[in-house]
Amino acid sequence: MKQGISTVKKADAASRADGRSRGAATWAAVVQHRHYYALLLPVMALLVLIHYVPMAGIVIAFKQFNIKGGLWHSPWVGFKYFKQMLETPSFLAILWNTVRISFLKVLFGFPAPILFALILNEIPGLRAKKVFQTVSYLPHFLSWVVVAGLVMSMLSIQGPVNYVLSLLGGKPVIFMQESGLFTGIVVVSDIWKGIGWGSIIYLAAIAGIDVQLYEAAAMDGARRLQRVLHITLPSLVPIIGTLFILRMGGLLNAGFDQVLNLYNPMVLDKADIIDTYVYRTGLVQMQYSFSAAVGLSKNLVGFLMVVLTNATVNRLGGTTLT
C-alpha cells in the first residue's frame, strides 16, 4: 500500500516537473523569437480591438435597450427576450428552415469541393487544369447580389431553363415563387458559387502528397480509382476533419446574403431563416434587444457544435483543433 502511494507521488512529481520544463522551454522559445512576437503584437491588438471589444455589446440581449439610456444605462430585464424568442409562434418554423437549409448545404456542399479537387487532380493536361481552375474560381468573386440576379434571370419565365423545358414539351415554371423549390435553388447556387474556391485548400494538400506513393501503387498494379481511394483520400483526412469542425460551427448560418437576395413573400414560409428574422426585427422594426437575444442564441449553438464536433472527431481518431 505504501509502495503504491509512493509510486503515485513520484508520478505526480514527475508530471509537475515535466510541465515546468515544457513551460520553461516555451518561454525560452518566446524570448529567442521575441522580435517576431513583437511584430505580431499590432496584429493581435487589432484583432482584440475589432473582434473582442465589441463583444461587450452582447449585454444588450439582457437589457431593455433604449436610445436615450444607451447601452450601459438601459434597464436590465434578464432572460426576458430569450423567453419571448421561445414563445414566438413563428420561431420554431424559422429555426427549422435554418437547420434544413444549413444541413443540406453541409450534406451536399461540403463534399463538393473535395470531389471537384479530386477530379481536377486527375486531369492530365496542365493547361486544361488551369483553365478549369480559373473558371471555377470566378463565381466566388461575385457578390450574392450579382449571383442572385443571374439565378433569377436563368429561372425566370423567359429564362433559359424554362426555354429548355418548353422544348421538351413541359410547361413553364415560376421557380422563384415555388416555396418547395426554394431550398434546392439555394443549395445548388451555393455549391456553384463556392465549389471552385473551396477546392483550393484540397488541391494544395494533394500537391503535398509524396509522388512515390503513387508510383509504388502503380507498380503494384493499382488503378487510378484505387490510387485515389487508398492514397489521395486518406492523405486528405486531416484537412477534411479540420474543415468539417469549422463548418459545423456555422451550422445555423444558412447564408444571410444569399437568402436575403433570393427570397420573396411568396416563399417566406420556407425561406425565412434566423439571420433574415434578426435583420427584420432588429434593423427594420428596431427591436434591438430581442434581435440581439436571437443572434446570441444562434452563436452559442454554433460554439457548442464546434466543441461537440471537435470531441467527436477526437474520439474517432481524426485531427482536431486542439
Least confident of 2-16, 64-78, 166-180, 207-221: 2-16
Quote the pLDDT of residue 57: 83
pTM of the model: 0.77
Query: 58-65: long-range contacts at Cβ-Cβ below 8 A with a sequence spacing of 24 or more?
Result: 58/292, 58/296, 60/288, 60/289, 60/292, 61/289, 61/292, 61/293, 61/295, 61/296, 62/289, 62/293, 63/289, 64/289, 65/288, 65/289, 65/292
Quote the pLDDT of residue 147: 93
Quote the pLDDT of residue 35: 86
Closest C-alpha to 239, from 196, 203, 191: 203
Instruction: Please determine, for residue 9, whether its predicted confidence score (pLDDT) is greater than 90.
Output: no
Q: Where in the chain is the domain with CATH 1.10.3720.10?
A: 80-315
| Mean pLDDT, range 156-171, rounded to an integer | 88
**Residue 19 banded pLDDT, cuts 50, 70, 90:** low
**Residue 284 banded pLDDT, cuts 50, 70, 90:** confident
242: how many CB neighbours lie within 10 A of its CB? Answer: 17
Least confident of 12-21, 182-191, 306-315: 12-21
* pLDDT tens readout for residues 177-216: 888 899 999 999 999 999 999 999 999 999 888 889 888 9
- Which amino acid would we find at residue 320? T
The topology under which CATH files domain 80-315 is MetI-like fold (1.10.3720)
